[in-house]
Chains A and B, each alone.
With several copies, the nearest count.
Chain A
Amino acid sequence: MWWQWIAERITLGLHIPDGFLHAPVALLWWLPTVIAVGVATRAVRQSLDDRAVPLMGVMAAFIFAAQMLNFPIAGGTSGHVLGGAFAAIVLGPWAGMIVMTCVIALQAILFQDGGIVAMGANIFNMGIATAAIGGWIARPLLTRNGSFTTNRLWIATVTAGAGWLSVMAAAALTSAQLVLSDLPAAIVFPAMLGVHAVIGIGEGLITAAAVLFLVTTRPDLLQANAPAGTSSARVAVIGLIIAAVTAAFAPLASPDPDGLERIAEDVGFIERATDAPYHMLPDYTIPWLGETPLSTILAGLIGVAVMIGLIWVIAALLRSRPPARS
C-alpha cells in the first residue's frame, strides 16, 4: 500500500533527501565518508583478496533484500532492519562499510531514496557509523582468542545492544547534520533520538536473532570471518562504554508500542527538521570584494573547489595503484 510505503520511509527517517541540508554541510560530510570508504576498500582487498568482488557485491544485494523483510509492529506500521551492524558483525567492519556504501548509493540512484548531494552524509550515518559499531564494538566482545563465543545469552545481549546503538548513532549523526544546517538542537536531538530509541529495538532484536541463527546453523561462516582475539582489558573498556551509553539513553528507550503514535511523532520531527534556513554561506564573503553577490558566489565556488580538491587528493592517495596487466 502506498501509505505504508510512505510510512516506512518516514519512520526510518534517516535517508536525507537533497535540499534538506546546507550545501556546505552536505559537502563536508563527503570528506570522512570518502576517507573511510577508501581505507575500507584497501582493507577489504587485502583481507579478502580475490573473493572481495563476488562476496561484497552479493552481500550488498542481500542487505537490500533484507530490508524488505519486515514484521508488523502495530497499527499497520512495520519494522525492518537497517543492516549495518549485522553486516559488520558477520563480515567485519571494513567489509560492512563497503557493503552499506553500495546499498545506500544504489538506493539513492535507483530508487531516489536519499539525495545525491546528501549521499556523503547518508553513507556516513547509515553505513560507516553503523558498521563501526558492529565491527569495532560488538565483534571484539563476541570473539575470544580468535574464535566466536558460544554463549548464546552473551551473543544475544551484545548483538541486540549493537543493533540498537547503531540506529541511535545514525540518528544522532543525522541530527547533528541537521543542527549544523542551523536547526535548533533543542528540538532535533530529543525528537530524533526518541523516535529511534524505539525503532532501534526492532533493529536490535532482528540483529540478535539473525546472528543467533548463524551461530546455530552456520557457525563456520562466523568463524571464517572472526577477527584475532582482543585483550580482556580492551573488552572491559568497550563494555563499560556500551553500558554508559545504554544507561544514558535508557530513559528514551521506554518503548511506546503504538505505531501510529510513533509515526505522528516522526512526522512532527520531520516538520521541525526542515526548519532550516537555506542561505548560501550567509557569512561567507570574500573580504576585498565586500558583501556583494559576486563575492558570495566566488566564496562558494572556492569552497567547492577546495572540498573537491581535498577529496580528490585523499582518494588518489588511498587508491591502490592499478594492476599491471600482462
Chain B
Amino acid sequence: MLTITNLTYRYPDGTPALRGIDLAIAAGEKVALLGVNGAGKSTLLLHLNGTLRPASGAIVVDGLPVTPQNLRQIRARVGLVFQDPDDQLFSPTVFDDVAFGPLYMGLAPAEAAQRVQQALQAVGMMGYERRAPHRLSLGQRKRVALATVLAMQPSLLALDEPSAGLDPRARRALSELLRALPQTMLVSTHDLALVADVFPRAIVLAEGRVVADEATASLLAHHSRLLQYGLI
C-alpha cells in the first residue's frame, strides 16, 4: 500500500528534517506515528502526497510512485489532514469546503453533493452544510477537516495530530470514528491513549530517523523506552 525507501529531506533553510526513512504499510493497516516536537512527523506526512518533494529516496502509494507527473492521481489516493483545521478549511461554507476536492477531481455536482453527504455523515456533521467554518467549535472544525478528505475517498489517510486540542469527549468520538473507518492510516499524534485505542502498530521518529517500528502493545509496555523516546 505504502512503501518508503531511504527518504531524506532538508528544508530550504538547511534544517535536515528527515534522514533516511524506510517503512512499509500494508493495505488496511492502521499505524501511529510518534515522536517529540520536531522529530519530523509533519514533514514525513507532507511527503506522502507530494506537497514536499524528497531530496532523495522514493515513495510508492498503491503501486504508483509519488512523482510530479503522478501528483493528481496520488492526491486522489492520499487524504492528508493538517493539524490546524483553520488551514484546512478555506471556503465560506462547510459544504463548499467538503465539495472542493470532489469537484476538483471532475465529479458532477450531483455526485459531489452525494459524496459530501456521505463524508459529513461519517464524521457526524450532517446538517452543518450551510454553516461557516469559523462559527464551529474546534472539535467540529476538526471533524469537518477530516470530512474534506473522506469525500475524496482516498485509500490512504494521513492525519497530523487529529486529537490535539480536543476535550475528552471529542477524543473518544474521534477514536471511535478512526476505528470504524476502513482506510489504511498513518496518523501522527502525541496522544498515547488514542494510540492504544486505535492503532495496533506504532512507528517512532527521532531526529528524522525511524527509531522504533513495532506492535503498540509491546512499545507501551516498556516505560523506560517511552521515556527514552520522550513520549511521556
Contacts and interface: CB of A to CB of B under 8 A. Distances in A.
A213 B92 contact: yes
A217 B131 CA distance: 9
Contacts, number: 12
A290 interface: no
A216 B106 contact: no
Nearest to B92: A216
Given A213-B92, A216-B92, A326 B132 contact: no
Interface string B38-76: 000000000000000000000000000000000000000
Contacts of A325: 106
Majority DSSP secondary structure for residues of A touching B: helix
Interface residue SS majority, chain B: loop
Interface residues of B, number: 6
A213 B93 CA distance: 10
A216 B132 CA distance: 9
Contacts of B92: 212-213, 216-217
A217 B106 contact: no
5 residue pairs, one from A and one from B, having the closest CB atoms:
A216-B92, A217-B132, A213-B92, A217-B92, A325-B106
A228 B132 CA distance: 29
12 contacts: A54-B90, A57-B90, A212-B92, A213-B92, A216-B92, A216-B93, A216-B132, A217-B92, A217-B132, A217-B134, A325-B106, A326-B106
Interface in B92-110: 92-93, 106
Nearest to B133: A217
Interface residues of A, number: 8
Nearest to A58: B90
B128 to A, nearest CB: 15
Contacts of B93: 216
Nearest to A53: B90
Nearest to A54: B90
Contacts of B90: 54, 57
Contacts of B132: 216-217
A133 B93 CA distance: 30
A213 B97 CA distance: 13
Given A216-B132, A325-B106, A326-B106, 9 more contacts: A54-B90, A57-B90, A212-B92, A213-B92, A216-B92, A216-B93, A217-B92, A217-B132, A217-B134
B77 to A, nearest CB: 18
